[in-house]
Structure 1
């Protein structure tokens, strides 16, 4: 990777072309066409530095962490904990406030099941702040990914709490007036995404967090679509918990991150139990390590964490502010181009309003799966379906959409190739003649 000047604000096309050489898969051809990868919102591609970091660990340092006294174990443990420090610094928090999980879904479930355990009396006096029961309320939004909705449905069912919802406007933004009415004295937890994985809407995290804290509720942020794409300071955002996944930010699959304020993690009862997260065990009792180890039972995802740290270093070297600006320009190009194509309906904020570098759209008369298959024949990879957000799609009267999502390695030419292909979809299927 060679960048002209990483302190300048905007990435140039030449720099992006240089970055692309770091991603081996971008040289692939699909169905005889150069790969145009517009599915980074689901899983991003990995630069050589990330691939090499995992290979190096496997070849030279592979061992269990926190368990052995031999040299390889010490090396593996040091690399594993250095990775935690690297990721913590990336999002502006402390080393002991980062818990490794398998993905963001597990991270959110960890909080939900730990609160369920607290509600059942586990964790002692320190965990009382997490206890839920009848009359308590959990608040989510209508735009949530299922991973930030279903765990709270289940927590409400287990504890007798109620689930309340902040609705969407027709423009694809949260109704903040309704949010102020929904979040009230009975609210114990407010859960919301930073950036919608369908609409591209960027939510006002500070306002939502302030509303939660004003009634004494905890705030949990789904940062899956923000951590990879824009500078993120979780301490400054003042959220209590946050979750994101490695595979969406140039890292490996199988590793995710839970952030929790240190005092909350230390009070939260564990979710998974077993080896490596204990201090003393008898046949009828166990005592647990402090956070974050108390939430990391069993053999850990060591090489994946090391790969994620390499991804974070790569993003730092490019500059997240520059990545964000590049993707914002691509997002505007996507929306403007789609808006000019007859029979296309784009969900989410209108052109000119802030949105992430993605666009989900409905093609009149053609199912999203058919759109995706047509594009794939041309080597263009997009996402089709409900994107794990059925309530959001139901809100806008569609069952499925096609989503194109960009990243730092996406070029304007690729966006134009995609737009030209979408313009041919309805004629190809004989619709709208």
Structure 2
């Protein structure tokens, strides 16, 4: 990124991290948009809405919405303009990559790619899997986002056993049975609610010469993730589960596979010349 793109900043505004109202940043519940919403009943009348869908799509934090409102006037092309607004947007965009990398404890040379959501991120990684590198190993209880993209790419499913210990034994045997390029696992299952031991899974994968990908869609909103410390090679999650609007997702991980892959989407910005 040109040095000039790093300099502009959005003019000073009230603290973007401040929580509206009387709430404090360390309060148990941060303010969200839609709180106090009243909805109609089938039989008539209105009641305050009880949102029971947080696990699928969490509401937008008020602080996030307010920050977006502050930067919207500067909306412009990212990495494609010399004007002030474009440079501001480019700076914010690249700054967001750095924020995500810190949030997940990524390595210094990991790439941070913005996608549409977790499913899009998994499909991007599936398309970057090197030909001939080996199969993808995964458990049969994976979320569809971490199950269907691997079909047709040599996916080998391990049947989940009654206990975690038995499942890990079966997984280790499968990893040793034939060359594998990648172990794809959930960080927190939306089927059972279980959070598998990621560090141990990473060790099993690496011992077999494979890398590990973690679908952190359900994990990232609730637990700290440290990619480098745990040994995670690739990780994906969605903003819409993390109190962010507009449904953006992220894929973070080692650059070699991603740099060598053909562009996931052909078009503007994906070519050097035509």
Tell me the TM-score normalised to structure 1 length: 0.53
Aligned pair partner of 1:39 in 53, 59, 62: 53
User: Is 1:131 paired with 2:131?
Assistant: yes
For the residue of structure 2 that corresponds to 1:276, the secondary structure is: coil
Structure 1 stretch displaced more, 269-278 or 223-232 = 269-278
Structure 1 distance, partners of 2:249, 2:109, is: 15
Q: For each residue in 1:138-177, what CA deviation from the matched residue of structure 2 results, as whole angstroms up to 9, or x when unmatched?
A: 21112211111111003x2xxxx3x222222346887111
Structure 2 distance, partners of 1:257, 1:103, is: 7
Aligned pair partner of 2:171 in 165, 179, 184: 179
Contact 2:187–2:218 (CA<8 Å) still a contact in 1? yes
Aligned to 2:68: 54
Contact 2:109–2:254 (CA<8 Å) still a contact in 1? no
Contact 2:109–2:255 (CA<8 Å) still a contact in 1? no
1:273-288 matches, cutoff 5 A: 273-278=266-271, 280-282=272-274
1:30-429 matches, cutoff 5 A: 30=39, 31=41, 32-58=46-72, 60-93=73-106, 94=108, 97-115=111-129, 130-132=130-132, 136-154=134-152, 156=153, 161=154, 163-170=155-162, 175-184=167-176, 185-278=178-271, 280-282=272-274
* Counterparts in 2 of 1:28 and 1:66: CA distance versus 1, 3 Å: same
For the residue of structure 2 that corresponds to 1:67, the secondary structure is: coil
Q: Shift of the alpha carbon at 1:96?
A: 5.6
Flag structure 1 segments of 5+ consecutive residues without an equivalent.
7-14, 116-129, 283-433
Flag structure 2 segments of 5+ consecutive residues without an equivalent.
1-18
Structure 2 distance, partners of 1:96, 1:221, is: 15
Q: Shift of the alpha carbon at 1:186?
A: 1.7
Structure 1 distance, partners of 2:83, 2:64, is: 26
Contact 1:85–1:95 (CA<8 Å) still a contact in 2? no
* Counterparts in 2 of 1:111 and 1:85: CA distance versus 1, 3 Å: same
Aligned length: 246
Aligned to 2:12: none
Q: Shift of the alpha carbon at 1:180?
A: 1.2
For the residue of structure 1 that corresponds to 2:34, the secondary structure is: helix
Structure 1 distance, partners of 2:165, 2:147, is: 18
RMSD: 2.2
Structure 2 distance, partners of 1:95, 1:73, is: 26
Q: For each residue in 1:223-259, what CA deviation from the matched residue of structure 2 results, as whole angstroms up to 9, or x when unmatched?
A: 1011111111111121111110000001113310000
For the residue of structure 2 that corresponds to 1:236, the secondary structure is: helix
For the residue of structure 2 that corresponds to 1:25, the secondary structure is: coil
Contact 2:127–2:261 (CA<8 Å) still a contact in 1? no
